[in-house]
Amino acid sequence: MKNIYHKAKFLLSCPSLKGCPPDTGYEIVFAGRSNAGKSSSINALTLQKKLAKVSRTPGRTQHLVFFELDKSRRLVDLPGYGYAKVPEHIKQKWHKDMAEYFDRRKCLKGAVLVMDIRHPLKPFDLMMLEWCVVAEIPVHILLTKSDKLKRGAASNALLKVAREVNKYQSVTIQLFSSLKKQGLEDLWEQLNNFFDINE
């Protein structure tokens, strides 16, 4: 499998859509509630320990952070949503910016929706799913921290979420553990599909 993910490097961070790179090539966004393990997942998939900043304070990432894989492909770390300590006006601006990003960004080819397997499908997760469906963007759900559950419980959680999202089109789902490096091959394969990388 062709793996370009270890080549990921920080490109830029911007507080609003105005600072985004040119709308060309391919972008895959990583979205998720604060503390769902989004930054850890990005670090695991790129085989790097400190590419995406992991914070003990939920909601620390409030910018769009772009990572370049090659000249035409980027990963985008979206602000963690659902954080309680952020002022309401910032939440509203985030909501407006994200809706606009999903609606207008032509190079957006897929979204990875990161959920803690123990707390999946919260209202913000469903909102992100709706945005993607409306924008006709395929979604890959990453049920993180699967190592926190026994195998049977993790499988049951996977099946339950799969049933819940069955009504949506173009949604795939998998178990993932950044700590144990479980599910990396499946994630790489899905990202290759989004990025139109032939094996």
Nearest one of 185, 182, 155, 158 to 171, comparing CA atoms: 158
Longest dimension (CA), the chain: 46
**pLDDT tens figures, 92-107:** 877 788 888 888 999 9
**pLDDT tens figures, 2-52:** 689 999 999 999 887 888 999 999 999 999 988 899 999 999 999 999 998
Instruction: Tell me the CATH number of domain 5-195, given options 3.30.70.3270, 3.40.50.300, 3.55.50.30, 3.40.710.10.
Output: 3.40.50.300
pLDDT tier at 68, thresholds 50, 70, 90: very high
Q: Where are the domains of the chain?
A: 5-195
DSSP letters for 40-81? HHHHHHTT-SSSSPP-SSTT---SEEEEEEETTEEEEEPPPB
Mean pLDDT over 176-192 rounds to: 96
What's the confidence (pLDDT) of residue 127? 87
**pLDDT tens figures, 37-49:** 999 999 999 999 9
